[in-house]
C-alpha cells in the first residue's frame, strides 16, 4: 500500500518537476546566450566611436604625471587637452610632447590636490573651455602596506588621501559639468575598491567611494546626456606599479586604455579590460569575500615584511 502511494505521488509530481526543469534549463540557456552576446558587444565590437570631439573640443585629465596614457589616446582622437597635476615642469614636458606628436592645443594647470583651496584656480583655468571628456585619474596610495594605527603622521595621511582621492573627484566634476548638458566623465577607481584590502585600508575605502559616487552620479545624469563611468583596473604594467614586463593580465597602459575607452557607454562600471573583467567576476561572484580579504591580508603582510627588512638593511 505504501509503495502504491509513493508511485501515485511520483506520478503526480512528474509533470510539474519536468516543467520546472525545462523552464530552468531554458532560462539558463537564454541567460548564457544573453551574457555571451553582451560580452561580444562590449569586448569585441566595443563602442570606440563614442569618445569623439562631438562631445566637446576639450578633454581634461587630472593625473599623476607618468600615468597620462589616456591623454595620448584622446589627443589621437583630436581632442585639445587640459592637463592638471602638481609639477609644472613635468606638465610642460607632456604638453610639448602632445603638441608635437598630435598637433593639438594644450593647456596646463598646476595644483596640489592635497589642499582644498585649489578649485578656484582650476575653475579659472577651465573658464570658457567646452569640456567634452573629463578623466579623474589623480590619486595616491600607501608608500608600503601598513596597519592603520602604525601609519606615520596618521592625521596628515588621512586628510591628504581624502583630499586627493575623494574631494578632487567630486569638486572637479562640479567645476567641469555644472553648466554642460552632455559629456563623459571617467572616474578611475581601482579593483582595490571592489572589496576591503587590509593594510591598504584607507586607500581601498577611498576607491570604493569613487566607485559608488560614479555609479550614483551616472544614474542621476544619464538621461541628461552625461555619462559617468567607474573604472576599476587591476594591475597595469607601469612605473608606478613597478611591473616591468607586460603579461596577459598585466597589460601595457596603451593596451588597457584602448580596451577601456571602447567600453564607455556600454558599462557604467567596468574593469576596463577583458582579462580584468574575468578577474573581477571571479573575485566578487565565485570566491567568498572572507577569502579575498584573507588572501589580501597575507599578501600585504608579506610585502610589508619585505619592505621593513630592506629598510633595516639600509
Instruction: Tell me: do 122 and 176 sit in the same domain.
Output: yes
Strand partners, 108: 83
Q: How confident is the model over 240-285, as pLDDT tens digits?
A: 667 778 899 899 988 999 999 999 999 999 999 999 999 999 999 8
155 domain-assigned:
yes
* CATH code of 86's domain: 3.40.50.720
Count of domains observed in the chain: 2
Instruction: Tell me: do 132 and 222 sit in the same domain.
Output: yes
Based on the residue annotation, tell me whether 256 is a catalytic residue of this protein. Answer: no
Instruction: Tell me: do 255 and 165 sit in the same domain.
Output: yes
Cβ atoms of residues 138 and 64 within 8 Å: yes
Q: For residue 173, give the nearest of 225, 141, 135 by alpha carbon.
A: 135
**Which of 119, 142, 203, 221 is the catalytic position?**
203
**Domain coverage including residue 93:** 50-309
314 domain-assigned:
no
Instruction: Tell me: do 189 and 302 sit in the same domain.
Output: yes
Query: 299 or 311: which carries more pLDDT confidence?
Result: 299
| Torsion angle of C-alpha atoms 42, 46, 50, 51, degrees rounded to 10 | 100
Residue 87: the pLDDT is: 85
Burial 189-216 (b: 16+ CB within 10 A, else e): bbbbbbbbbbbbbbbbbbbbbbbebbbe
Instruction: Tell me: do 22 and 61 sit in the same domain.
Output: no
Instruction: Tell me: do 11 and 129 sit in the same domain.
Output: no
Q: How confident is the model over 19-61, as pLDDT tens digits?
A: 777 888 888 888 888 888 888 888 988 887 889 989 989 998 8
Instruction: Tell me: do 101 and 21 sit in the same domain.
Output: no
Instruction: Tell me: do 32 and 87 sit in the same domain.
Output: no
25 domain-assigned:
yes
Decide if pLDDT at 292 tops 90.
yes
Instruction: Tell me: do 218 and 278 sit in the same domain.
Output: yes
Q: How confident is the model over 135-151, as pLDDT tens digits?
A: 998 888 999 999 999 99
Report how far residue 231's alpha carbon sits from residue 270's, in angstroms, rounded to the nearest whole number.
5
Mean pLDDT score of the chain, rounded to an integer?
89
Amino acid at each position: 500500500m505504501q509503495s502504491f502511494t509513493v508511485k501515485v505521488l511520483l506520478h503526480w509530481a512528474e509533470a510539474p518537476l519536468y516543467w520546472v526543469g525545462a523552464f530552468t534549463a531554458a532560462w539558463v540557456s537564454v541567460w548564457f546566450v544573453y551574457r555571451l552576446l553582451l560580452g561580444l558587444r562590449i569586448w569585441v565590437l566595443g563602442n570606440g566611436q563614442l569618445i569623439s570631439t562631438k562631445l566637446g573640443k576639450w578633454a581634461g585629465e587630472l593625473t599623476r604625471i607618468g600615468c597620462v596614457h589616456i591623454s595620448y589616446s584622446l589627443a589621437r582622437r583630436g581632442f585639445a587637452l587640459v592637463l592638471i597635476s602638481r609639477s609644472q615642469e613635468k606638465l610642460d614636458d607632456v604638453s610639448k610632447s602632445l603638441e608635437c606628436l598630435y598637433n593639438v592645443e594644450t593647456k596646463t594647470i598646476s595644483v596640489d590636490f592635497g589642499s582644498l583651496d585649489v578649485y578656484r584656480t582650476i575653475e579659472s583655468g577651465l573658464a570658457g573651455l567646452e569640456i567634452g571628456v573629463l578623466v579623474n585619474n589623480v590619486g595616491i596610495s600607501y608608500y608600503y602596506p601598513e596597519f592603520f594605527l602604525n601609519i606615520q603622521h596618521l592625521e596628515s595621511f588621512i586628510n591628504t588621501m581624502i583630499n586627493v582621492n575623494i574631494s578632487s573627484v567630486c569638486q572637479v566634476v562640479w567645476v567641469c559639468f555644472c553648466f554642460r548638458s552632455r559629456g563623459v566623465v571617467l572616474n578611475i577607481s581601482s579593483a582595490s575598491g571592489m572589496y576591503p584590502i587590509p593594510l591598504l585600508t584607507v586607500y581601498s575605502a577611498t576607491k570604493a567611494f569613487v566607485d559608488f559616487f560614479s555609479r550614483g552620479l551616472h544614474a542621476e545624469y544619464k538621461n541628461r546626456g552625461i555619462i559617468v563611468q567607474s573604472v576599476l583596473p587591476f594591475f597595469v604594467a607601469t612605473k608606478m606599479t613597478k611591473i616591468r614586463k607586460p603579461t596577459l593580465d598585466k597589460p601595457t597602459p596603451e593596451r588597457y586604455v584602448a580596451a577601456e575607452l571602447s567600453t564607455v557607454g556600454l558599462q557604467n562600471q567596468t574593469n576596463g579590460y577583458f582579462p580584468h573583467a574575468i578577474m573581477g567576476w571571479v573575485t566578487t561572484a565565485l570566491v567568498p569575500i572572507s577569502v579575498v580579504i584573507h588572501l589580501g591580508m597575507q599578501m600585504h603582510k608579506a610585502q610589508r615584511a619585505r619592505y621593513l627588512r630592506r629598510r633595516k638593511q639600509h
